[in-house]
Amino acid sequence: MPFDANRSMLPETRPVVVAGGGAAGINAALACRKHFPEKPVTIVDTQTEIGYYRPLLPQFMLGKIDAHKLFFWRPGQDPLLALRLNASVASIDRENRLLHLEDGETLAYDRLILAPGGRPLVPSVCTSQSCRLGVFPVRSLADARAVRRWLPAHRNITILGGGLVGVKTAVQFSLSGFPTILVEKEGHPLPNLLSHQAALPIEDHLRNLGVDIRTDSTIEDIRGDRQGDLKEVLISGEWAICDSLLVAIGSTPEIGFLESSGLLKGGELVVAPTLQTSDRCVFAAGDAVTIRTDDGATHRPWTWPQAISQGKLAGANVYRSAPLALSNFSRLNAQNIAGLPLVVLGGRPDQFGAVSEISDPPRWWREWYRKKDRMVGGALVGDISGAGPLHFKMATGEIIPHDIIKPGATAFSRDTWRHLAQKRTVRFFHVKGSLD
Ligand SMILES: Cc1cc2nc3c(=O)[nH]c(=O)nc-3n(C[C@H](O)[C@H](O)[C@H](O)COP(=O)(O)OP(=O)(O)OC[C@H]3O[C@@H](n4cnc5c(N)ncnc54)[C@H](O)[C@@H]3O)c2cc1C
């Protein structure tokens, strides 16, 4: 067996290795450098470019922002922070604390932070061999660069998937003058975040912006020309002209390389609220993890803000004798969809009774989801007033009166409302779901 310097490394000279340089990985590496300045850190990532805002990729595809605005982090002068780009982790040897890279190299670690994020899902119908060009997942900067090069001569856009990524992408393309079809298999956009009613103002808004929304639909086939360039997609029985198909149906944790690591439980990378895995030297954060709390509940808050806060916590926890726990698992998400504000407080409308407040016609919609009298989630569409205090009440588990969702509700102190300068008129109040 050839001599391997990594194996003989003393633990104190081994670095903290971070596998994955997305929002979670970079924040973990920086937090680790800040809290433990004497410890070297190495970030390993499959891609050649890291440190960019994934949520801005649609604008980048369209040339609305340049590469320099896309990056939230660039390598600096820190001699103890090393990068290994274009390098994939293939497997882990926990006994010897080694990472095996796909190119055959090994890297020793003292502590390991796993932040490999998600892999985009692309249905097999979109990968037809006869049609090799024109289909792109919406996930990485490399794909976004390919879309940017492809677009000038291919302006008929179809986006598959009406979740947050698909909706945001459709809005950007439509606003830039591209004929845009948005295909969603459920009956309304953002089905994992919003109830049917809450999605109505968004659906209206998208149509007004020129997006051709096809709900209850999917892509059944694609076909291209002789060169293999995409030309048409079959949407629920009807062929539509399409030379650029952007796939945004979601992602799945990128954890295949952990299969023999002993860290997966039921196929998931499960961590405690401290972001510690079953191995005390291995932490994990971001879109790849499932967090299990002491009561047995599982949380998968796969959002950009969560990737950042989990990354920071994982980096700060790696050498703590008593690691701190994540305080908030919510999928809080604030968006402005071309002038229509939206705050998702978390939870799923179909799992709990919803208490809602609407305007008529549906220009805005506010609802919260409850378990007994506690708030476990909600959504504010069009009128997001009081989002901060509502989220606070949800996080603190306070008992909440039913009308709290009303803009200007008395459950908040006068000072709060004065501070938030709320002046909204309630048109219609309606309670649905059981009140037990
Ligand atoms: C277009 C778009 C828009 C979005 N908009 C929003 C939004 O508005 N709000 C919001 O909350 N969320 C949004 N998201 C989701 C958000 O970007 C993710 O939740 C977040 O990026 C997750 O961060 P992460 O660090 O866990 O994973 P990722 O960002 O996926 O980073 C993981 C990194 O690990 C690397 N990696 C994977 N496997 C390996 C391996 N074996 N070896 C080495 N490296 C590896 C990958 O190359 C990648 O760089 C959006 C996503 C997209 C694609």
Per-position pLDDT tens, the chain of length 436: 444 555 556 666 899 999 999 999 999 999 999 999 999 999 999 999 999 999 999 999 999 999 889 999 999 999 999 999 999 999 999 999 999 999 999 999 999 999 999 999 999 999 877 788 999 999 999 999 999 999 999 999 999 999 999 999 999 999 999 999 999 999 999 998 888 888 988 999 999 999 999 999 999 999 999 888 999 999 999 999 999 999 999 999 999 999 999 999 999 999 999 999 999 999 999 999 999 999 998 999 999 999 999 999 999 999 999 999 998 888 888 999 999 999 998 877 666 666 666 666 667 888 888 777 778 888 889 888 888 888 887 877 777 666 666 665 544 444 444 444 433 332 222 333 322 2
Quickly tell me which residue has 């649609």 as its tokens: 58
Residue 139 near ligand 1, beta carbon < 6 Å: yes
Distance (Å) from CA 244 to ligand 1 centroid: 23
Residue nearest ligand 1's atom 1 by CA:
55
Residue 138 near ligand 1, beta carbon < 6 Å: yes
The pTM of this model reads 0.89
Residue 302 near ligand 1, beta carbon < 6 Å: yes
- Maximum C-alpha span of the chain: 77
Closest ligand 1 atom to Cα of 20: 34
Express the helix, strand and coil content of the chain in percent, nearest 5 each.
Answer: 25, 30, 45
Residue 118 near ligand 1, beta carbon < 6 Å: yes
Signed CA dihedral, 411, 417, 419, 422: sign only: positive
At 369 the pLDDT is: 81
* 420 in Cβ contact with 386 (< 8 Å): yes
At 266 the pLDDT is: 95
3-state secondary structure (DSSP) of residue 312: helix
Residue 262 amino acid letter? G
Tell me the sheet residues that pair with 361: none
The CA-based angle 359-364-370, given to 5 degrees, is 90
DSSP 369-407: EEETTEEEEEEEES--TTHHHHHHHHHHT-B--GGGGST
> Token pair for residue 97?
């604390």
Phi, psi angles (nearest 5°) of residue 347? 75, 175
3-state secondary structure (DSSP) of residue 66: coil
CA dist 91 → 112, 255, 262 (Å): 13, 10, 11
Residue 25 near ligand 1, beta carbon < 6 Å: yes
At 11 the pLDDT is: 62
3-state secondary structure (DSSP) of residue 275: coil
Pairing of strands 219-224, 106-108: unpaired
At 187 the pLDDT is: 96
Half-sphere exposure (Cβ direction) of 31: Cα atoms closer than 13 Å: 22
Rounded to whole angstroms, the Cα distance separating 406 from 223 reads 50
Residue 128 near ligand 1, beta carbon < 6 Å: no
Sheet of strand 365-371: strand arrangement: 333-337, 340-346, 374-381, 365-371, 353-358, 428-431
Residue nearest ligand 1's atom 44 by CA:
45
Phi, psi angles (nearest 5°) of residue 88? -105, 140
Residue of 323, 275, 279, 322 lying closest to 301 (CA atoms):
275
Provide long-range contacts, Cβ within 8 A and 24+ apart, for 48-56. 48/85, 48/86, 48/142, 49/85, 49/141, 49/142, 50/21, 50/22, 50/25, 50/26, 50/83, 50/85, 51/21, 51/26, 51/75, 52/141, 54/22, 54/23, 54/139, 54/304, 55/168, 55/304
- For residue 416, count other CB atoms closer than 10 A to its CB: 15
At 407 the pLDDT is: 63
